[in-house]
Amino acid sequence: MSYSNFRAQQKTFKSASGNIKYIDQGKGDVIVLLHGVPTSGWLYRNMIDSLAKTHRVIVPDMLGFGSSDSPEGYDIYSEENHAKRLLALMNHLKIENWTHVMHDAGGLWTWELFELAPNKIKNLVILNTIIYEEGFDPPIRFEEGVLAKTAMWSYRSSITNNMMLKGLFKSGMTENTLTKTDIEGYKKPLSEGKTKAMYYFFTQTCNKLKNYKATLFKINIPITVVWGKNDDFLKWNPQSTRVIKDLNISPENIHLIDAKHFIQEERPELISKIIRDAVNKI
């Protein structure tokens, strides 16, 4: 699938902060697929059709990413504000409960959503997600200011974003097998200047990671973990004991797979199967 075809399938939700684009495909119980930074719903393109055969699949581009608007300002991209907009989207779609799948920084937006509306998510699937500081080792961190803004601005350049994406996927995949068509879906939003949300993440979130232990401890729903065990950005082992205890995860629901960070690119069929199995257990 080309990125232009992917965008043509997206619908528009007019949030209070700007337009949010999203895929809404299939029928049945709802599964939300939530990306992280610096990706978008494009990350799940190889999983949507498979899951939509038996479920209704919602795949948003969060504000500042992918096809969605990228309004001025930075605090607008806080974890809490992302969560509020995701909740507004689900209310707009009149979806009361859903299975929630998240990756990377999508975990932070999810923990905030649990604080706002703890009874909306009925089943949780964690994919290499930010949980605790012990497992969090982002490829870059910036201090606020000119240097960080210049770096974000430079990603509009084809040469610079090619270099950044090449390095990101070289580090984030066991073997970078992405084609030019695949890369276009990650490259185009950067070329369009959608970097303000990234600026917030790399200058705020990465330097002041919130402790969500109290929130996690209150979650009492089925939880499945699918984790690329060779991930250098988000590491399972340093935080595994704490996460398993705080979220009360059953050993049989933990799947450590032979992959790195971008597991949706490396093992989409396997992850789709695990998600379907998790949903069918409810």
State pLDDT tens for residues 12-23.
999 999 999 999
C-alpha atoms less than 13 angstroms from C-alpha of 36 in its C-beta half-sphere: 25
Q: What per-residue confidence (pLDDT) applies to 213?
A: 94
Q: What per-residue confidence (pLDDT) applies to 282?
A: 74
Domain chopping of the chain, boundaries? 3-280
Of the chain, the percentage scoring pLDDT greater than 70 comes to 100
- Flag whether pLDDT at 234 surpasses 90: yes
Give the contacts of 175 (CB within 8 A, at least 6 positions apart): none
Give the contacts of 200 (CB within 8 A, at least 6 positions apart): 74, 75, 77, 78
Can you tell me the mean pLDDT for 150-164?
89
Instruction: Write b or e for each residue in 68-104: b if 16 or more Cβ atoms lie within 10 A of its Cβ, otherwise e.
Output: bbbeeebebbbbebbbbbbebbbeebeeeebbbbbbb
- Flag whether pLDDT at 69 surpasses 90: yes
Average pLDDT, the chain: 96
Cα(214)–Cα(198) distance, integer angstroms: 27
Can you tell me the mean pLDDT for 136-163?
90
Can you tell me the mean pLDDT for 80-93?
98
Cα(221)–Cα(122) distance, integer angstroms: 6
| Residue 101 DSSP SS3 | strand
Q: pTM here?
A: 0.97
Cα(275)–Cα(224) distance, integer angstroms: 8
Q: What per-residue confidence (pLDDT) applies to 281?
A: 83
- Flag whether pLDDT at 139 surpasses 90: no
Comparing C-alpha atoms, which of 282, 275, 207 is closest to residue 26? 275
Cα(32)–Cα(125) distance, integer angstroms: 10
- Flag whether pLDDT at 195 surpasses 90: yes
Can you tell me the mean pLDDT for 254-271?
98
CATH architecture observed for domain 3-280: 3-Layer(aba) Sandwich (3.40)
Q: How far apart are the first and last CA of the chain?
A: 32
Please give the single-letter amino acid code of residue 26. Answer: G
Q: What per-residue confidence (pLDDT) applies to 274?
A: 98
Can you tell me the mean pLDDT for 109-121?
97
Give the contacts of 53 (CB within 8 A, at least 6 positions apart): 26
Whether the CB-CB separation of 33 and 47 falls below 8 Å is answered with yes
Q: What per-residue confidence (pLDDT) applies to 129?
A: 98
> Measuring CA to CA, how many Å separate 182 from each of 98, 247, 248, 265?
28, 35, 37, 10
> Measuring CA to CA, how many Å separate 160 from each of 41, 77, 151, 189?
22, 23, 9, 13
Confidence tier at 156 by pLDDT (50, 70, 90): confident
- Flag whether pLDDT at 180 surpasses 80: yes
Whether the CB-CB separation of 12 and 37 falls below 8 Å is answered with no
| DSSP-based helix, strand, coil % in the chain, nearest 5 | 45, 15, 35
Can you tell me the mean pLDDT for 138-147?
90
Q: What per-residue confidence (pLDDT) applies to 140?
A: 85
